[in-house]
Structure 1
Amino acid sequence: MVQNPARRTALADAAIDVLAREGARGLTFRAVDVEAGVPNGTASNYFANRDDLLHQTARHIHHRLTPDPLILAELLRAPRDRALVTALMHDLIRRISADRAGYLAMLELRLEATRRPELRTQLTGTIREDLENNIAYHLAEGLPGDRDTVVVLYLAMTGLILEHLTLPEVLGVDGLAALVDTVVGRTVPAT
């Protein structure tokens, strides 16, 4: 496999855009090459096969959605209370809204994983690791609540994000911030 990190990133970004726009069935090496504006056959030099492309795309999505360290550091100057968790969830919504294609591509990968056992295994591992890291981070930072709090918050925010990005009229775009406040208020204990 070719080792040009900048090109690999550009191809993974192109794969995310194709997934978000065309779905998993539209994700081909040729479609990625066209989206990235590179010669035909380039993507196949960077990814061993379609499963590798899907898996590496999933990993790249998680990388793209990772919090900005400077913003996170600023948020973490606050006391470890429900208000901080609320601010962190608003930042999550901001990041995901800013990278709508990334999250929609992840939804497509989740659906494709129901049909591809190897992808399901890989994606389950990636998402489980991410959830476990979030739980460990929450507890290590002394944020209110326990492991179950983080799991319930994850489930509630996942549902909220799904509605917001796919059928925003169901919840009403104007009420999104208030819904985040409600989710945290009903999930995270007061300190």
Structure 2
Amino acid sequence: MRHNPRRRTALLDAAIEVLAREGSRGLTLRAVDAEAGVPVGTCSNYFTNRAQLLRQIMQRTRERLTPDPVELADTLTAPPTHHLVARLLRQVHERMEGDRSSYLAMLELRLEGARRPELGAELNEILATELESNIRFHLQAGLPGDRTDVVLLYLAVHGMIVDDLTVPAVLDGKAPDLIDALTARLLGRPLAP
């Protein structure tokens, strides 16, 4: 197996594009070679099988969708209010829109994970860990809301993103405004006793 990190990354990026455009059934090692513009067989030199490719696509999409640490640090200089939570969530939305292929590839991986138990188990573990990390981040940053609020925000915003990236006419470009309304309603008002 080859170990040129730049070539591996280029192949994974090509695989993300194929997966986002063609779906799981269109993702073959040969299709990745064609997308990457490399000789036939190159992908199989880096990934022993399709299952290994899918697992590494999962990791690569997470790398591509992770916030820039400098931008995140700058955002966190604002007071910890529901306005800051809305800003952070709008940035998540912007990252997903900015790298639509990675988000769509992750949706395809979720569907594939529902059909392939070994991939599903790994995906469940990764996404559960990621959600726990988001909850911990939110609480440690002193942002308003509790664990349940963070889970509700996660579910609502990811649902908005799915609609925004797959059936954009449904939200008609209103996702950022909906994120503001969601955080104001969930976190901006004190709950009645």
Q: Same fold (TM over 0.5)?
A: yes
Provide the rounded CA distance (Å) in 1 between the counterparts of 2:144 and 2:16. Answer: 35
Provide the rounded CA distance (Å) in 2 between the counterparts of 1:125 and 1:184. Answer: 27
2:63 maps to which residue? Answer: 63
2:176 maps to which residue? Answer: 177
> How far apart are 1:97 and its partner, in Å?
0.5
Provide the rounded CA distance (Å) in 1 between the counterparts of 2:118 and 2:53. Answer: 12
1:139 counterpart = 2:139: yes
Provide the rounded CA distance (Å) in 2 between the counterparts of 1:161 and 1:26. Answer: 23
2:30 maps to which residue? Answer: 30
> Normalized against structure 1, the TM-score is what?
0.96
Provide the rounded CA distance (Å) in 2 between the counterparts of 1:85 and 1:128. Answer: 21
> How far apart are 1:190 and its partner, in Å?
4.5
Provide the rounded CA distance (Å) in 1 between the counterparts of 2:48 and 2:149. Answer: 40
% identical aligned pairs: 54
On the 8 A contact 1:14/1:36 being kept in 2, the answer is: yes
| 1:111-126 to 2 correspondences below 5 Å | 111-126=111-126
Provide the rounded CA distance (Å) in 2 between the counterparts of 1:145 and 1:137. Answer: 12
1:9 maps to which residue? Answer: 9
Provide the rounded CA distance (Å) in 1 between the counterparts of 2:143 and 2:3. Answer: 40
Provide the rounded CA distance (Å) in 2 between the counterparts of 1:117 and 1:82. Answer: 38
Greater shift, 102-111 or 175-184, is seen at: 175-184
1:44 maps to which residue? Answer: 44
Q: Letter of the aligned partner of 1:47 in structure 2? A: F
Provide the rounded CA distance (Å) in 1 between the counterparts of 2:89 and 2:10. Answer: 28
Provide the rounded CA distance (Å) in 1 between the counterparts of 2:189 and 2:75. Answer: 18
Q: Letter of the aligned partner of 1:181 in structure 2? A: D
> How far apart are 1:189 and its partner, in Å?
4.7
On the 8 A contact 1:81/1:190 being kept in 2, the answer is: no
2:82 maps to which residue? Answer: 82
On the 8 A contact 1:144/1:190 being kept in 2, the answer is: no
Greater shift, 180-189 or 77-86, is seen at: 180-189
1:14 partner SS: helix
For residues 93-120 of structure 1, the C-alpha deviation after alignment (integer angstroms, 9 at most, x for no partner) is 1111000111011111111111111110
1:129 maps to which residue? Answer: 129
Provide the rounded CA distance (Å) in 2 between the counterparts of 1:77 and 1:14. Answer: 36
1:103 maps to which residue? Answer: 103
Q: Letter of the aligned partner of 1:167 in structure 2? A: V
Provide the rounded CA distance (Å) in 2 between the counterparts of 1:187 and 1:89. Answer: 13
2:115 partner SS: coil
Q: How many residues in Structure 1 have an aligned counterpart in Structure 2?
A: 190
Provide the rounded CA distance (Å) in 1 between the counterparts of 2:2 and 2:185. Answer: 49
2:185 maps to which residue? Answer: 186
Provide the rounded CA distance (Å) in 1 between the counterparts of 2:141 and 2:46. Answer: 38
Gaps of 5+ in 1: none
> How far apart are 1:178 and its partner, in Å?
1.0
